[in-house]
Amino acid sequence: MEIVLDQKDAADWTYRGEGAVNLVLAYTGSSPLFFGKVIRIQKAARNGSHCTSVRSVVALSAHERLLWRDLGDLVSCTDRDVVCQMYVQHVMIPLLDSKHVDAGVHILVTREFLETIEKNILSQRPAWRVSAGRVNIHCDSVLLQSDHSIFPQGGEGEFCISVEIKPKWGCLPTSRFISKRNAIKKSVTRFRMLQAWKLQKGEISELSDYDPLDLFSGSQDRIYKAIKDLFSTPQNNFRVFLNGSLILGTEGGYAVDTNLEIEEAFEDALQSVIQRGNGFRTMSFLQLVAEAVHKSGCLNRLLDVQKLDSFDIEGAIHAYYDIISEPCLVCRQMDDDELLKRCATLHSAHLDQSLEIVRNYLTAATAKDCSLMITFRPWHVDCPGSTYNSIFVESTKQTFDYKVNFIDLDLKPFKKMEQYYEQDKKIVRNYNQMFVTELEADHY
Protein backbone atom coordinates (compact mmCIF):
# COMPACT_ATOMS: atom_id res chain seq x y z
CA MET A 1 0.00 0.00 0.00
CA GLU A 2 1.29 3.43 -0.93
CA ILE A 3 2.05 5.74 1.99
CA VAL A 4 0.24 9.08 2.06
CA LEU A 5 0.92 11.65 4.78
CA ASP A 6 -2.36 13.13 5.94
CA GLN A 7 -3.46 15.92 8.30
CA LYS A 8 -3.21 13.65 11.36
CA ASP A 9 0.49 13.01 10.59
CA ALA A 10 1.48 16.69 10.55
CA ALA A 11 2.11 16.86 14.32
CA ASP A 12 4.93 14.31 13.97
CA TRP A 13 7.08 16.66 11.90
CA THR A 14 9.02 19.57 13.38
CA TYR A 15 10.70 22.52 11.70
CA ARG A 16 14.40 21.95 11.03
CA GLY A 17 15.29 24.77 8.66
CA GLU A 18 14.81 26.24 5.22
CA GLY A 19 16.56 27.82 2.28
CA ALA A 20 15.23 29.91 -0.58
CA VAL A 21 13.42 26.98 -2.19
CA ASN A 22 12.58 24.33 0.40
CA LEU A 23 11.36 23.85 3.96
CA VAL A 24 12.83 20.94 5.90
CA LEU A 25 11.10 19.14 8.78
CA ALA A 26 12.41 16.30 10.95
CA TYR A 27 10.40 13.33 12.17
CA THR A 28 9.61 13.19 15.88
CA GLY A 29 6.89 10.52 15.84
CA SER A 30 7.20 6.83 16.67
CA SER A 31 6.81 5.09 13.31
CA PRO A 32 9.94 3.06 12.43
CA LEU A 33 9.20 3.93 8.81
CA PHE A 34 10.14 7.57 9.33
CA PHE A 35 12.56 7.35 12.21
CA GLY A 36 15.78 9.22 11.34
CA LYS A 37 14.19 10.96 8.34
CA VAL A 38 13.47 14.51 7.22
CA ILE A 39 11.06 15.76 4.58
CA ARG A 40 11.87 18.53 2.15
CA ILE A 41 8.80 20.54 1.14
CA GLN A 42 8.78 22.85 -1.87
CA LYS A 43 7.97 26.50 -1.23
CA ALA A 44 5.84 28.89 -3.26
CA ALA A 45 6.85 32.53 -3.68
CA ARG A 46 4.51 35.20 -2.38
CA ASN A 47 3.97 37.82 -5.05
CA GLY A 48 1.44 40.10 -3.42
CA SER A 49 -1.67 37.97 -2.98
CA HIS A 50 -0.54 35.63 -5.70
CA CYS A 51 1.39 32.42 -5.04
CA THR A 52 3.63 30.82 -7.62
CA SER A 53 6.08 27.98 -7.24
CA VAL A 54 9.58 29.21 -6.33
CA ARG A 55 10.84 27.09 -9.20
CA SER A 56 9.03 26.90 -12.54
CA VAL A 57 5.96 24.63 -12.45
CA VAL A 58 7.03 23.07 -15.74
CA ALA A 59 9.52 20.28 -15.07
CA LEU A 60 12.09 21.24 -17.72
CA SER A 61 11.99 23.94 -20.36
CA ALA A 62 12.68 23.01 -24.00
CA HIS A 63 16.25 24.32 -23.65
CA GLU A 64 16.79 22.35 -20.48
CA ARG A 65 15.60 19.18 -22.21
CA LEU A 66 18.20 19.85 -24.88
CA LEU A 67 20.87 20.53 -22.27
CA TRP A 68 20.27 17.33 -20.30
CA ARG A 69 19.18 15.16 -23.25
CA ASP A 70 21.82 12.50 -22.54
CA LEU A 71 20.10 11.77 -19.23
CA GLY A 72 16.99 10.20 -20.79
CA ASP A 73 15.06 9.57 -17.53
CA LEU A 74 15.55 13.13 -16.44
CA VAL A 75 14.15 14.83 -19.52
CA SER A 76 10.99 12.73 -19.55
CA CYS A 77 10.00 13.80 -16.00
CA THR A 78 6.89 15.92 -15.62
CA ASP A 79 7.54 17.24 -12.13
CA ARG A 80 10.43 19.61 -11.27
CA ASP A 81 10.85 18.02 -7.85
CA VAL A 82 11.36 14.62 -9.41
CA VAL A 83 13.78 16.19 -11.89
CA CYS A 84 15.89 17.52 -9.00
CA GLN A 85 15.97 14.11 -7.37
CA MET A 86 17.02 12.42 -10.62
CA TYR A 87 19.63 15.09 -11.21
CA VAL A 88 21.16 14.20 -7.85
CA GLN A 89 21.08 10.53 -8.80
CA HIS A 90 22.47 10.81 -12.33
CA VAL A 91 24.76 13.85 -12.14
CA MET A 92 25.79 14.66 -8.58
CA ILE A 93 26.19 11.16 -7.10
CA PRO A 94 28.68 10.02 -9.77
CA LEU A 95 30.68 13.20 -9.09
CA LEU A 96 30.50 13.25 -5.29
CA ASP A 97 30.15 9.52 -4.43
CA SER A 98 26.94 7.80 -3.28
CA LYS A 99 28.52 7.32 0.16
CA HIS A 100 28.08 11.06 0.75
CA VAL A 101 24.75 11.73 -0.96
CA ASP A 102 21.18 10.57 -0.39
CA ALA A 103 18.92 11.41 -3.34
CA GLY A 104 15.83 10.56 -1.25
CA VAL A 105 12.43 9.25 -2.36
CA HIS A 106 9.15 11.01 -2.98
CA ILE A 107 6.14 10.26 -0.80
CA LEU A 108 2.61 11.43 -1.33
CA VAL A 109 1.01 14.07 0.89
CA THR A 110 -2.48 15.53 1.08
CA ARG A 111 -3.21 19.22 0.82
CA GLU A 112 -4.49 19.13 4.44
CA PHE A 113 -1.11 17.77 5.56
CA LEU A 114 0.71 20.69 3.92
CA GLU A 115 -1.78 23.27 5.23
CA THR A 116 -1.43 21.98 8.79
CA ILE A 117 2.36 21.90 8.52
CA GLU A 118 2.31 25.51 7.35
CA LYS A 119 0.29 26.61 10.41
CA ASN A 120 2.38 24.54 12.83
CA ILE A 121 5.76 25.93 11.80
CA LEU A 122 4.80 29.55 11.16
CA SER A 123 6.12 30.92 14.45
CA GLN A 124 9.49 29.19 14.05
CA ARG A 125 10.30 30.54 10.60
CA PRO A 126 12.38 33.73 10.18
CA ALA A 127 9.99 36.61 9.39
CA TRP A 128 11.75 37.53 6.13
CA ARG A 129 11.50 33.95 4.91
CA VAL A 130 7.75 33.97 5.75
CA SER A 131 7.26 37.15 3.67
CA ALA A 132 9.22 35.66 0.77
CA GLY A 133 7.57 32.27 0.55
CA ARG A 134 5.12 29.76 1.99
CA VAL A 135 4.47 26.03 1.77
CA ASN A 136 3.49 25.12 -1.78
CA ILE A 137 0.17 23.49 -0.92
CA HIS A 138 -0.36 22.47 -4.54
CA CYS A 139 2.36 19.82 -4.38
CA ASP A 140 1.21 16.26 -3.98
CA SER A 141 4.51 14.85 -2.81
CA VAL A 142 7.52 15.72 -0.64
CA LEU A 143 11.07 14.39 -0.64
CA LEU A 144 11.91 11.95 2.16
CA GLN A 145 15.62 11.89 3.03
CA SER A 146 17.88 10.63 5.81
CA ASP A 147 18.29 13.06 8.65
CA HIS A 148 22.01 13.66 8.33
CA SER A 149 22.26 15.32 11.74
CA ILE A 150 22.00 11.90 13.38
CA PHE A 151 23.26 8.36 12.75
CA PRO A 152 20.78 5.80 11.37
CA GLN A 153 21.27 3.47 14.33
CA GLY A 154 22.03 5.65 17.34
CA GLY A 155 23.02 3.82 20.52
CA GLU A 156 20.79 4.12 23.58
CA GLY A 157 21.43 7.43 25.37
CA GLU A 158 24.27 8.22 22.98
CA PHE A 159 24.77 11.74 21.61
CA CYS A 160 25.21 12.83 17.98
CA ILE A 161 26.71 16.19 17.18
CA SER A 162 26.51 17.54 13.69
CA VAL A 163 28.01 20.51 11.88
CA GLU A 164 26.43 22.01 8.77
CA ILE A 165 28.76 24.04 6.54
CA LYS A 166 27.79 25.99 3.43
CA PRO A 167 31.31 26.43 2.04
CA LYS A 168 30.51 28.39 -1.17
CA TRP A 169 33.16 28.92 -3.90
CA GLY A 170 36.49 27.46 -2.91
CA CYS A 171 38.70 28.92 -5.64
CA LEU A 172 39.36 32.00 -7.72
CA PRO A 173 38.41 32.00 -11.41
CA THR A 174 41.18 32.13 -13.98
CA SER A 175 39.15 32.24 -17.19
CA ARG A 176 40.57 34.27 -20.11
CA PHE A 177 37.03 35.50 -20.79
CA ILE A 178 37.02 37.67 -17.68
CA SER A 179 37.05 41.32 -18.79
CA LYS A 180 39.70 43.78 -17.60
CA ARG A 181 36.99 45.71 -15.78
CA ASN A 182 36.24 42.63 -13.66
CA ALA A 183 39.82 41.43 -13.23
CA ILE A 184 39.55 41.79 -9.46
CA LYS A 185 37.59 38.52 -9.51
CA LYS A 186 40.91 36.75 -10.06
CA SER A 187 42.29 37.94 -6.73
CA VAL A 188 39.30 38.51 -4.41
CA THR A 189 36.89 35.65 -3.65
CA ARG A 190 33.30 35.88 -4.77
CA PHE A 191 32.31 35.21 -1.15
CA ARG A 192 34.12 38.34 -0.02
CA MET A 193 32.63 40.49 -2.77
CA LEU A 194 29.17 39.14 -2.03
CA GLN A 195 29.68 39.97 1.65
CA ALA A 196 30.27 43.60 0.70
CA TRP A 197 27.11 43.53 -1.40
CA LYS A 198 25.07 41.98 1.43
CA LEU A 199 26.43 44.58 3.87
CA GLN A 200 25.46 47.34 1.47
CA LYS A 201 21.92 45.97 1.20
CA GLY A 202 21.62 45.54 4.99
CA GLU A 203 21.28 41.74 4.78
CA ILE A 204 24.17 41.40 7.22
CA SER A 205 25.49 43.82 9.82
CA GLU A 206 29.13 42.68 9.83
CA LEU A 207 31.43 41.16 7.25
CA SER A 208 32.18 37.46 7.76
CA ASP A 209 35.66 36.49 8.96
CA TYR A 210 35.40 33.29 6.92
CA ASP A 211 37.50 32.78 3.79
CA PRO A 212 36.47 29.79 1.61
CA LEU A 213 40.05 29.58 0.28
CA ASP A 214 41.19 28.58 3.79
CA LEU A 215 38.59 25.84 4.08
CA PHE A 216 39.44 24.37 0.67
CA SER A 217 43.21 24.83 1.07
CA GLY A 218 43.98 21.25 2.13
CA SER A 219 46.22 22.69 4.88
CA GLN A 220 45.21 21.59 8.37
CA ASP A 221 46.06 24.95 9.95
CA ARG A 222 44.11 26.96 7.39
CA ILE A 223 41.12 24.61 7.67
CA TYR A 224 41.16 25.10 11.44
CA LYS A 225 41.27 28.86 10.92
CA ALA A 226 38.27 28.62 8.57
CA ILE A 227 36.28 26.59 11.12
CA LYS A 228 37.11 29.11 13.89
CA ASP A 229 36.03 31.96 11.59
CA LEU A 230 32.79 30.17 10.71
CA PHE A 231 32.16 29.73 14.44
CA SER A 232 32.68 33.44 15.14
CA THR A 233 30.63 34.65 12.12
CA PRO A 234 28.23 31.79 11.27
CA GLN A 235 25.72 33.79 9.12
CA ASN A 236 24.08 31.14 6.88
CA ASN A 237 27.33 29.20 6.48
CA PHE A 238 27.60 27.34 9.79
CA ARG A 239 25.25 25.52 12.16
CA VAL A 240 25.70 22.95 14.91
CA PHE A 241 23.03 20.46 15.96
CA LEU A 242 23.12 18.32 19.09
CA ASN A 243 20.87 15.25 18.76
CA GLY A 244 19.08 17.05 15.94
CA SER A 245 18.49 20.30 17.91
CA LEU A 246 20.21 23.50 16.89
CA ILE A 247 22.85 24.71 19.38
CA LEU A 248 24.67 27.25 17.19
CA GLY A 249 23.56 29.37 14.25
CA THR A 250 20.07 30.10 12.99
CA GLU A 251 17.46 27.88 11.35
CA GLY A 252 16.70 29.06 7.88
CA GLY A 253 18.48 32.40 8.02
CA TYR A 254 21.50 34.47 9.01
CA ALA A 255 22.92 34.10 12.51
CA VAL A 256 24.37 37.08 14.39
CA ASP A 257 28.10 37.10 15.17
CA THR A 258 29.03 34.84 18.06
CA ASN A 259 29.32 37.02 21.18
CA LEU A 260 30.48 36.04 24.67
CA GLU A 261 26.99 34.95 25.72
CA ILE A 262 26.56 32.64 22.71
CA GLU A 263 30.09 31.31 23.24
CA GLU A 264 29.35 30.44 26.89
CA ALA A 265 26.04 28.76 26.02
CA PHE A 266 27.81 26.71 23.35
CA GLU A 267 30.59 25.72 25.74
CA ASP A 268 27.89 24.51 28.19
CA ALA A 269 26.02 22.64 25.45
CA LEU A 270 29.19 20.67 24.71
CA GLN A 271 29.31 19.23 28.24
CA SER A 272 27.86 15.88 27.22
CA VAL A 273 30.03 15.72 24.10
CA ILE A 274 33.58 16.80 24.83
CA GLN A 275 35.52 16.06 27.97
CA ARG A 276 37.23 18.97 29.62
CA GLY A 277 40.86 18.59 28.62
CA ASN A 278 43.45 21.29 28.99
CA GLY A 279 41.45 24.02 27.30
CA PHE A 280 37.92 24.96 26.36
CA ARG A 281 35.58 22.28 25.00
CA THR A 282 34.74 24.56 22.09
CA MET A 283 38.35 24.63 20.97
CA SER A 284 38.63 20.84 21.02
CA PHE A 285 35.36 20.56 19.14
CA LEU A 286 36.42 22.99 16.41
CA GLN A 287 39.69 21.07 16.08
CA LEU A 288 37.69 17.86 15.70
CA VAL A 289 35.61 19.42 12.90
CA ALA A 290 38.71 20.75 11.14
CA GLU A 291 40.35 17.36 11.32
CA ALA A 292 37.25 15.65 9.87
CA VAL A 293 37.24 18.11 6.96
CA HIS A 294 40.93 17.51 6.38
CA LYS A 295 40.94 13.73 6.81
CA SER A 296 37.76 13.00 4.84
CA GLY A 297 39.00 14.86 1.74
CA CYS A 298 35.34 15.60 0.98
CA LEU A 299 36.09 19.17 -0.05
CA ASN A 300 38.69 18.12 -2.62
CA ARG A 301 35.97 16.30 -4.47
CA LEU A 302 33.55 19.22 -4.15
CA LEU A 303 36.22 21.60 -5.43
CA ASP A 304 36.74 19.45 -8.53
CA VAL A 305 33.02 19.79 -9.29
CA GLN A 306 33.13 23.56 -8.71
CA LYS A 307 36.05 23.75 -11.14
CA LEU A 308 33.86 22.38 -13.92
CA ASP A 309 33.12 26.08 -14.33
CA SER A 310 36.33 26.82 -16.21
CA PHE A 311 34.92 29.56 -18.45
CA ASP A 312 33.40 31.70 -15.69
CA ILE A 313 29.99 33.28 -16.29
CA GLU A 314 31.72 35.82 -18.56
CA GLY A 315 32.56 32.96 -20.92
CA ALA A 316 29.58 30.68 -20.38
CA ILE A 317 27.07 33.45 -21.11
CA HIS A 318 28.11 33.44 -24.80
CA ALA A 319 27.41 29.72 -25.04
CA TYR A 320 24.02 30.40 -23.44
CA TYR A 321 23.04 32.87 -26.18
CA ASP A 322 24.07 30.34 -28.83
CA ILE A 323 21.85 27.69 -27.23
CA ILE A 324 18.82 29.98 -27.15
CA SER A 325 19.69 31.11 -30.72
CA GLU A 326 19.51 34.78 -29.86
CA PRO A 327 22.01 37.58 -30.63
CA CYS A 328 24.55 37.82 -27.82
CA LEU A 329 23.69 40.89 -25.74
CA VAL A 330 27.07 40.75 -24.05
CA CYS A 331 29.12 40.91 -27.26
CA ARG A 332 26.86 43.67 -28.51
CA GLN A 333 27.88 45.93 -25.60
CA MET A 334 31.54 44.94 -25.44
CA ASP A 335 34.11 47.72 -25.91
CA ASP A 336 37.26 45.58 -25.73
CA ASP A 337 38.20 44.39 -29.25
CA GLU A 338 40.65 41.79 -28.10
CA LEU A 339 38.12 40.19 -25.76
CA LEU A 340 35.44 40.43 -28.44
CA LYS A 341 37.66 38.37 -30.75
CA ARG A 342 38.19 35.79 -28.03
CA CYS A 343 34.44 35.55 -27.42
CA ALA A 344 33.86 35.10 -31.14
CA THR A 345 35.65 31.75 -30.84
CA LEU A 346 32.94 30.66 -28.41
CA HIS A 347 30.23 31.76 -30.82
CA SER A 348 31.78 29.76 -33.63
CA ALA A 349 31.81 26.57 -31.55
CA HIS A 350 29.58 23.61 -32.33
CA LEU A 351 26.27 23.48 -30.43
CA ASP A 352 27.46 20.39 -28.53
CA GLN A 353 30.35 22.43 -27.14
CA SER A 354 28.05 25.27 -26.09
CA LEU A 355 25.81 22.74 -24.36
CA GLU A 356 28.78 21.25 -22.54
CA ILE A 357 29.98 24.66 -21.34
CA VAL A 358 26.58 25.57 -19.89
CA ARG A 359 26.01 22.09 -18.45
CA ASN A 360 29.33 22.29 -16.66
CA TYR A 361 28.61 25.82 -15.48
CA LEU A 362 25.28 24.80 -13.94
CA THR A 363 26.71 21.64 -12.37
CA ALA A 364 29.45 23.74 -10.80
CA ALA A 365 26.82 26.25 -9.60
CA THR A 366 25.11 23.46 -7.65
CA ALA A 367 28.44 22.52 -6.08
CA LYS A 368 29.12 26.17 -5.16
CA ASP A 369 25.81 26.44 -3.31
CA CYS A 370 25.40 23.07 -1.58
CA SER A 371 26.13 22.34 2.07
CA LEU A 372 27.81 19.50 3.88
CA MET A 373 26.93 17.94 7.19
CA ILE A 374 29.60 16.25 9.28
CA THR A 375 28.17 14.18 12.11
CA PHE A 376 30.03 12.69 15.07
CA ARG A 377 29.23 10.14 17.76
CA PRO A 378 31.40 8.44 20.36
CA TRP A 379 33.42 5.52 19.02
CA HIS A 380 32.96 2.14 20.68
CA VAL A 381 35.54 -0.60 21.13
CA ASP A 382 32.73 -3.17 20.86
CA CYS A 383 31.75 -2.03 17.35
CA PRO A 384 34.66 -3.39 15.25
CA GLY A 385 32.75 -3.68 11.96
CA SER A 386 31.69 0.00 11.94
CA THR A 387 31.62 1.42 8.41
CA TYR A 388 32.47 4.88 9.68
CA ASN A 389 35.91 6.44 9.92
CA SER A 390 37.10 7.71 13.25
CA ILE A 391 39.16 10.54 14.72
CA PHE A 392 41.12 10.66 17.96
CA VAL A 393 41.15 14.01 19.77
CA GLU A 394 44.50 14.30 21.49
CA SER A 395 43.51 17.10 23.90
CA THR A 396 40.61 15.12 25.44
CA LYS A 397 41.70 11.54 24.62
CA GLN A 398 38.35 10.81 22.94
CA THR A 399 37.64 8.95 19.71
CA PHE A 400 34.66 9.78 17.49
CA ASP A 401 33.03 8.06 14.54
CA TYR A 402 32.11 10.53 11.82
CA LYS A 403 30.25 10.65 8.51
CA VAL A 404 30.01 13.30 5.81
CA ASN A 405 26.93 14.04 3.71
CA PHE A 406 26.20 16.68 1.08
CA ILE A 407 22.78 18.33 1.06
CA ASP A 408 20.97 20.71 -1.30
CA LEU A 409 22.32 19.44 -4.61
CA ASP A 410 19.41 20.80 -6.64
CA LEU A 411 19.61 21.46 -10.35
CA LYS A 412 20.02 25.18 -11.12
CA PRO A 413 17.64 26.48 -13.79
CA PHE A 414 19.06 27.19 -17.26
CA LYS A 415 17.16 30.48 -17.34
CA LYS A 416 19.23 31.67 -14.37
CA MET A 417 22.28 32.12 -16.64
CA GLU A 418 21.26 35.69 -17.47
CA GLN A 419 20.70 36.42 -13.80
CA TYR A 420 24.12 34.96 -12.95
CA TYR A 421 25.72 37.27 -15.50
CA GLU A 422 23.93 40.38 -14.22
CA GLN A 423 24.55 39.51 -10.57
CA ASP A 424 28.26 38.95 -11.23
CA LYS A 425 28.54 42.40 -12.82
CA LYS A 426 26.69 44.05 -9.94
CA ILE A 427 28.74 42.37 -7.22
CA VAL A 428 32.06 43.29 -8.80
CA ARG A 429 31.02 46.88 -9.54
CA ASN A 430 29.81 47.32 -5.98
CA TYR A 431 33.04 45.87 -4.52
CA ASN A 432 35.17 48.12 -6.67
CA GLN A 433 33.15 51.16 -5.60
CA MET A 434 33.30 50.27 -1.91
CA PHE A 435 36.86 49.07 -1.50
CA VAL A 436 39.03 49.78 -4.50
CA THR A 437 40.19 53.14 -5.73
CA GLU A 438 40.19 53.65 -9.47
CA LEU A 439 43.98 53.48 -9.51
CA GLU A 440 44.00 50.08 -7.83
CA ALA A 441 41.25 48.79 -10.12
CA ASP A 442 43.46 49.62 -13.13
CA HIS A 443 46.25 47.67 -11.54
CA TYR A 444 44.20 44.40 -11.32
Ligand X SMILES: O=P(O)(O)O[C@@H]1[C@@H](OP(=O)(O)O)[C@H](OP(=O)(O)O)[C@H](O)[C@H](OP(=O)(O)O)[C@H]1OP(=O)(O)O
Residues forming the site for ligand X (CB under 6 A): 19-21, 166, 194, 236, 365, 369, 412, 416
Name the residue among 92, 39, 96, 154 with its Cα closest to residue 388.
154
By CB under 6 A, tell whether 234 contacts ligand ATP. Answer: no
Q: Which does 194 bind (CB under 5 to 8 A by kind): ligand X, Zn ion, ligand ATP, none?
A: ligand X
- Backbone dihedral angles phi then psi of residue 167, each to the nearest 5 degrees: -80, -25
Of 19, 167, 170, 315, the residue at the interface with ligand ATP (CB under 6 A) is 19
Name the residue among 212, 173, 219, 175 with its Cα closest to residue 192.
212
- The per-residue DSSP string of 50-102 comes to EEEESS-SSSS-HHHHHHTTTSHHHHT-S-HHHHHHHHIIIIIHHHH-GGGB-
- The per-residue DSSP string of 317-380 comes to HHHHHHHTT---HHHHT---HHHHHHHHHHHTS-HHHHHHHHHHHHHHHHHHH-EEEEEEEE--
Q: Which amino acid is at 23?
A: L
Interatomic CA distance for residues 301 and 254, integer angstroms: 27
Q: Which amino acid is at 288?
A: L
Interatomic CA distance for residues 315 and 330, integer angstroms: 10
By CB under 6 A, tell whether 64 contacts ligand ATP. Answer: no
Q: Which does 412 bind (CB under 5 to 8 A by kind): ligand ATP, ligand X, Zn ion, none?
A: ligand X
C-beta of residue 311 within 8 angstroms of C-beta of residue 320: no
Q: Which does 407 bind (CB under 5 to 8 A by kind): Zn ion, ligand ATP, ligand X, none?
A: ligand ATP
Find the part of the chain contacting ligand ATP (CB under 6 A) among 16-24, 194-202, 280-288, 308-316: 16-24
- Least separation in angstroms between residue 283's CB and Zn ion is 51
- Ranked by CB distance to ligand X, the top (closest) residue is 369
Give 133 or 315: the residue with its C-beta nearer to ligand ATP. Answer: 133
- Least separation in angstroms between residue 84's CB and ligand ATP is 9
Give 166 or 318: the residue with its C-beta nearer to Zn ion. Answer: 318
Q: Alpha helices of 168-280 — where are they, by DSSP H?
A: 190-201, 212-215, 220-232, 260-269
Find the part of the chain contacting ligand ATP (CB under 6 A) among 173-181, 217-225, 313-321, 407-415: 407-415
Give 235 or 396: the residue with its C-beta nearer to ligand ATP. Answer: 235
- Least separation in angstroms between residue 319's CB and Zn ion is 9
Interatomic CA distance for residues 188 and 165, integer angstroms: 21
Site for ligand ATP in 116-145 (CB under 6 A): 145
- Least separation in angstroms between residue 433's CB and ligand ATP is 27
Q: Which amino acid is at 136?
A: N
Of 5, 13, 34, 38, the residue at the interface with ligand ATP (CB under 6 A) is 38
- Ranked by CB distance to ligand ATP, the top (closest) residue is 19
Name the residue among 184, 102, 127, 27 with its Cα closest to residue 409.
102
- Least separation in angstroms between residue 18's CB and ligand X is 9
Site for Zn ion in 297-336 (CB under 5 A): 318, 328, 330-331
Distances (CA, A) of 230 to 160, 193, 233, 333: 20, 17, 5, 40
By CB under 6 A, tell whether 92 contacts ligand ATP. Answer: no
Of 17, 133, 212, 234, the residue at the interface with ligand ATP (CB under 6 A) is 17
Q: Which does 318 bind (CB under 5 to 8 A by kind): ligand X, Zn ion, ligand ATP, none?
A: Zn ion
Helix, strand, coil percentages in the chain from 3-state DSSP, rounded to 5: 45, 20, 35
Give 167 or 315: the residue with its C-beta nearer to ligand ATP. Answer: 167
Residues binding ligand ATP (CB under 6 A): 16-22, 24, 38, 145-149, 164, 239, 369, 371, 407-408, 410
